[in-house]
Structure 1
């Protein structure tokens, strides 16, 4: 039987998930965690800090430090909710939207190039398999389970 851990270790390295920074946009070095935060803020409409932290499975203290860095980089804007000023909502700034679009374009280009080395059938099989794996992982009771 194949060494499953090794397969995932290699895939992790090839995706660059161990790199300190995932990308550079202009002068900004964006970490992988920051990239995920920017993506989740883009995906949701004015989410609260707790909503994004929960989605990413991060404790709020660590998440808050990342948000402060993104605010200083002028990529994220943090404002109090009108109904409850103790809760902060997050939005991307114009620069944040640009960074999100740039990262998205680079990832899509990379994935398109990877999938170009496969037949249509292989591509569909991989996509279905990844969906199946994500679903099975969401049911896992062991670790690294994101809160959704």
Structure 2
């Protein structure tokens, strides 16, 4: 029998769940000293991230009982936090949007939650905070990839040795595919070195895609300003293309930026990187500026893409 089916493994997971929920205080009647229960806060969060969600979509994504969700929606409506309008395709279903009052309520709740987590992290050393967030990312990637990602690959947080792999594979891949010279490898090395030296777990992250335990792709989330996150160094190995790795890395980076409190995201790419540009466009990025330049031994057209979060 596999280890995840043993009594010891089951007991360990249940014990961790009890510890984790107690530590974060989600067993309290209200979340973050707010007037909202945990389930209400989760619904409010989903509405704040995406406009005009159908109530049924929220219920499916959060696993909420339809009757319970209906009571939450009714309560939000009575408090003036949301607007409701019937879906054109099915007038029995409602499309929900936050009102200005609702967005103010979410902002207060989000800030309170961020402050509570920041206070918890402040008690840890920088190395322990990094270990904690990386362990959380590992738990998330192991459990989530079975539900939403193709079984062929998984995403995990960076660890010792990954930066060397990123530098080597980026340099080799762009030399082989686009004849870029070694100055590009030098640029990647500088970016990775800066990421390691200045790493802020609360604002930045790197995700590595793996197939069978072997790295096949990467993406970096770095701080541009307090409000703007930057996506950097997206790369997928040829043998892993077609699996949805690039799209999953970009979506994870966007979600990571939202969770870290950024309001906007930017990236810099080149016009010849057709596949990457397609992923960015489908993920909601818009081309906002272009500039010809000579870099990496080639004449290129640099592009800046942005999107709101």
Compute the TM-score of the two structures, normalised by the length of structure 1.
0.80
Secondary structure of 1:132's counterpart equals: helix
Counterparts of 1:108-119 in structure 2 under 5 Å?
A: 108-119=114-125
The corresponding residue for 2:43 is 37
Give yes or no for contact 1:23–1:31 (8 Å, CA) kept in 2.
Answer: no
- Structure scoring higher RCO (CA < 8 A, sep ≥ 6) equals 1
Report the Cα distance in structure 2 between the residues aligned to 1:76 and 1:16, rounded to whole angstroms: 27
The corresponding residue for 1:21 is 30
Which structure has the highest strand share of the two? 2
Q: Deviations over 1:21-60 (max 9, x none)?
A: 22555xxx21111111000111112111111111111132
Secondary structure of 2:36's counterpart equals: strand
Please say if 1:62 is aligned against 2:71.
no
Give yes or no for contact 1:46–1:90 (8 Å, CA) kept in 2.
Answer: yes
Moved more, 96-105 or 121-130: 121-130
Report the Cα distance in structure 1 between the residues aligned to 2:108 and 2:79, rounded to whole angstroms: 16
Secondary structure of 1:105's counterpart equals: helix
Task: Calculate the aligned-residue CA RMSD, in Å.
Answer: 2.3
The corresponding residue for 1:50 is 56
Which structure has the highest helix share of the two? 1
Aligned length: 137
The corresponding residue for 1:143 is none
The corresponding residue for 1:98 is 104
- Bigger radius of gyration among the two: 2
Secondary structure of 2:92's counterpart equals: coil
Cα 1:54–1:82 change in 2 (3 A) is same
Question: CA shift at 1:83, angstroms?
Answer: 4.7
Compute the TM-score of the two structures, normalised by the length of structure 2.
0.41
Moved segments of 4+, more than 4 Å: none
Structure 2 residue runs of 5 or longer lacking an equivalent are: 1-7, 148-309
Report the Cα distance in structure 2 between the residues aligned to 1:128 and 1:74, rounded to whole angstroms: 39
Secondary structure of 1:85's counterpart equals: coil
Report the Cα distance in structure 2 between the residues aligned to 1:23 and 1:96, rounded to whole angstroms: 16
Aligned partner of 1:72 among 55, 78, 82: 78
Report the Cα distance in structure 1 between the residues aligned to 2:36 and 2:109, rounded to whole angstroms: 9
The corresponding residue for 1:146 is none
